[in-house]
Amino acid sequence: MGNPLFHWELMVNDVDKTIDFYSRVFDWEIDREHFPGYPLIKTGDNPGGGILKKPDSVPDCALNVYFHVEDIEADVSRAMVSGARMISPKTVIPGIGFFAVFADPDGIPIGIMQME
């Protein structure tokens, strides 16, 4: 079987404004306690999401997706050989696992996550 959608995030200019908007529109529950600075979105079903303050170096706000992988280094390597461009190399998420983000040949950002 392929790699399922595992997590998604809204990368935004104003986290509080985003929380207010989506809480009103979709009645999402927001968890600000587990990861300070990265509120988790509970939609009532999996996969859940998160809200990330857009870094100044990133030109636009975005909806990012992350797919589950078993071997992040192998998947990053296959992506690079297949024409991807690295956006964020393998990064540790303490107590969780690892993530990486690359752009596909059309420039679409794709995230992958490997659990510990």
pLDDT category at 106 given cuts 50, 70, 90 is confident
pLDDT at 1 over 80: no
Class of the CATH domain delimited by 1-63: alpha beta
**CB count in 10 Å sphere of residue 9:** 20
Q: In the CATH scheme, what is the code of domain 69-116?
A: 3.10.180.10
Rg of the Cα atoms in the chain: 15
The average pLDDT across 29-49 equals 92
Q: 108: helix, coil or strand?
A: coil
The average pLDDT across 16-30 equals 94
Residue type, 70: E
Tokens of 8: 């998604």
pLDDT given for residue 87 in this prediction: 94
Burial class (CB in 10 A: 0-12, 13-18, 19+), 99: buried
pTM of structure: 0.85
On average, the pLDDT of the chain sits at 93
User: How distant, in Å, are the alpha carbons of 7, 24, 39, 105 from that of 108?
Assistant: 16, 29, 24, 7
Q: Return residue ranges of the chain for CATH 3.10.180.10.
A: 1-63, 69-116
pLDDT at 16 over 80: yes
The average pLDDT across 83-108 equals 94
